């Protein structure tokens, strides 16, 4: 029963996250924490990073093909975030800090998805300066590397609330952010000797299938508003359960 829940959960997380340009690391870690509590943290976060890179890569291809990837905004964010994520991935973090930061990430994702406007793009977009984008990219990259996620859950709410880009362009940029930060984090773990994977090939394969379906539907067919609200509820439930785990 637990294995079936894990497989269906990985598929649902990948499908829903990919439809809004994310890789799903926070969702995979939440599922593994709840259903496989004995799994080592290193293996958990490494698995999430691998899936993050693959699923968000699929999403990036779909959103870019649909014309939702403003490279002028993405470049400064990536230039600062990738090296910062590498540094963060080499740091060793206490377990309590790992869980606390993860809970924060889930809460940010839920808030972002609730507040994301539906329909057309915002009336007045205000892209950030290069300096601001570099600072934001570096800060989020560092946190992402420490926690073992791509950083989309931190970047997307900021972009939407500050009106840096339209919802779909935000999804395209977030996908690229997640791809390169996840790769940087994985490289750092390999160098630091904290790269650890186990026997999770089947759940990971199921997640890839979910990512393919979600990226296609999110970029070309589904209305983002409905998915955002559903996913926000899922993340809120997972966040509540993780808080219970942390305070035990």
d(CA 57, CA 176): 7
In sequence order, what are the residues at sequence separation of 6 or more whose Cβ sits closer than 8 angstroms to the Cβ of residue 32? 6, 39, 44, 47, 48
- Number of domains within the chain: 1
Mean of pLDDT values over 30-52: 79
Confidence band of 99 (pLDDT split at 50, 70, 90): low
Mapped onto helix, strand or coil, the DSSP state of residue 248 is coil
* 47 vs 98: which has the higher pLDDT: 47
The residue segments making up the domain with residue 180 are 2-247
d(CA 31, CA 225): 24
Nearest to 149 by CA among 7, 27, 8: 27
> According to the model, what pLDDT value does residue 136 have?
92
Measure Cα distances from 129 to 73, 134, 160 in Å: 9, 9, 16
- pLDDT digit string, tens, across residues 190-218: 776 666 666 677 878 888 899 999 888 87
To the nearest whole number, what is the mean pLDDT of the chain? 78
**What is the percent of the chain with per-residue pLDDT over 90, rounded to a whole number?**
12
In this prediction the pTM is: 0.77
Mean of pLDDT values over 134-146: 85
In sequence order, what are the residues at sequence separation of 6 or more whose Cβ sits closer than 8 angstroms to the Cβ of residue 72? 127
Confidence band of 185 (pLDDT split at 50, 70, 90): confident
């Amino acid at each position: 029963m637990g294995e079936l829940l894990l497989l269906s959960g990985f598929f649902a997380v990948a499908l829903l996250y990919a439809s809004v340009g994310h890789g799903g690391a926070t969702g995979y870690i939440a599922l593994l924490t709840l259903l496989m509590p004995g799994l080592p943290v290193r293996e958990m976060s490494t698995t999430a990073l691998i899936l993050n890179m693959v699923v968000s890569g699929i999403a990036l291809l779909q959103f870019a093909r649909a014309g939702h990837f403003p490279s002028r905004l993405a470049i400064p964010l990536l230039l600062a975030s990738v090296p910062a994520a590498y540094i963060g991935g080499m740091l060793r973090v206490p377990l309590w800090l790992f869980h606390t930061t993860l809970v924060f990430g889930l809460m940010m994702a839920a808030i972002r998805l609730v507040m994301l406007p539906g329909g057309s793009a915002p009336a007045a977009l205000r892209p950030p300066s290069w300096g601001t984008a570099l600072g934001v990219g570096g800060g989020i990259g560092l946190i992402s590397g420490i926690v073992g996620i791509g950083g989309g859950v931190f970047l997307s709410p900021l972009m939407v609330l500050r009106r840096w880009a339209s919802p779909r362009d935000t999804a395209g940029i977030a996908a690229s952010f997640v791809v390169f930060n996840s790769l940087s984090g994985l490289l750092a773990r390999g160098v630091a000797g904290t790269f650890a994977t186990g026997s999770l090939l089947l759940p990971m394969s199921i997640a890839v299938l979910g990512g393919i379906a979600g990226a296609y539907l999110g970029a070309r067919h589904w209305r983002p508003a409905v998915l955002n609200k559903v996913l926000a509820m899922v993340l809120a439930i997972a966040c509540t359960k993780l808080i219970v785990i942390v305070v035990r």
